[in-house]
Amino acid sequence: MSSERRRIASAATLILVAYGLSRVLGAVRELVIANTFGTGHQIDDYRVAFGVPDLLFNLLLAGAIIVAAAFFAPRYGVTALAIGVVAGAMLHVGVQLPALWRTGWRPTTALGLDDPGVRKVGRLMFPIALGLAAAQVNVFVDTILGTSLPHGRVAALRYADTMAQLPLGTFSQALAFVLFPFLARDAALGAIDSIRHRTSLALRLNIFVLVPASVGLALLGVPITAALFERGQFGPESVRQTAFALTFFSLGLAGQAATALLVRVFYALQDVITPLRISLVVIGVNLATNIVLVNLLAQGGLALGTSIAATLNAVLLARALRGRLGGLEGAQIFRTTRRAVVGVVPMAAIAAGVAFLITGGSLQGGLRPLVAIVVAVALAALTYLGVEVLLRSEEVGLVLSVIRRDRSRV
């Protein structure tokens, strides 16, 4: 077992835990906000207003939002959330300064523009920043279009997106984050075969995990939403509207995961222009589809437009990258997809059947939907893994290796 693979296994486990904790904290933030404001017009106003600064800053400290919603919202209303955002941004910077100071850093007016390395970073950073801004533009467009819908739909859209991001944040984005330095090293060495294999393997792992996750979110959207959110100001109608959007968000999980990975492969190759060009095309497609779909499916149309855009982004990136790498081991990816689809059919039947038997299709929260989720997910996961083992899926062992930190298999 090489030292490199040991580093990948350890890093993957650490980042998986860190990303998982980050997503859980974000979910807790949304739970507190939902309990306090539900899907009323006030929270819609906050979501729209927050979309403007969020184009420039998307990494805020969720704890400040939770405190603001839980302790100050009863007195100050939705204004408390805006204060929490500002406080979270300040804390996000503040917690990093002590460690940075200990390294010997001191504020200076020198920008170091005469350094070739600094200039190169600047050249690469600008297109990357534009690409990241493009993703936020899509979110902002969704929010603006959502204002034409009845009050509460924008909030429902964001709650649904939070739930859809959980499998992405706890597995797919962590995987892409961990692989990036190894991809960059391979690119520096000109090891195209290694880049191609790593990319293909990561895509296959995402398919293996996210196909069942997508189906599970779509089928169990109502009990998941009811168990997590249905309390306080978040009533049965809020559950219905949020679960409706979640169904359509779930269709784009694989596309979002593939995009996060493939963009990093381009960055490792120091090609920042191709992802930017593709993202600009995707923005146009997303805007056009959302304008049409919002009139047909309300907030579900906005979620579906996002999923279509994410899938198109992944397809265009994969097509461009396949030419750069001389292929992406497409035959193996197809076999993984075929096995995942075969495994998800009985899994879906069991998950839906168990959830309906326990909840009876109720939109009420409490213990019943929570029990339904636990039982349905456990049985569905066992079914899916059982089918994959019978089909001799290589991905079963690889995923379990990362979880167990079994370094001989990664």
pLDDT tens track for 216-265: 999 999 999 999 888 888 888 989 999 999 999 999 999 999 998 999 89
pTM for the model: 0.76
Q: What angle do CA 142, 144, 145 make, to 5 degrees?
A: 65
* pLDDT tens column, 348-374: 999 999 999 999 888 787 889 999 999
pLDDT at 407: 42
Tokens of 215: 């189906």
% of residues, the chain, pLDDT over 90: 40
Residue-wise pLDDT tens digits, 296-337: 999 999 999 999 999 999 999 999 999 999 999 999 999 999
Is the pLDDT at 21 greater than 80? The verdict is no
Going by pLDDT thresholds of 50, 70 and 90, the confidence category of residue 85 is low
What is the tens place of the pLDDT at every residue in 160-214? Answer: 988 898 888 777 877 777 787 788 888 888 899 999 999 999 999 999 999 999 9
Do 337 and 208 contact (CB within 8 A), yes or no? Answer: no
Spatial separation of the C-alpha atoms in residues 41 and 147, rounded to whole Å: 10
Contact between 303 and 248 under an 8 Å Cβ cutoff? The reply is yes
Helix-strand-coil percent breakdown of the chain, rounded to 5? 85, 0, 15
Tally of CB atoms within 10 A around 122: 12
pLDDT at 193: 93
pLDDT at 46: 61
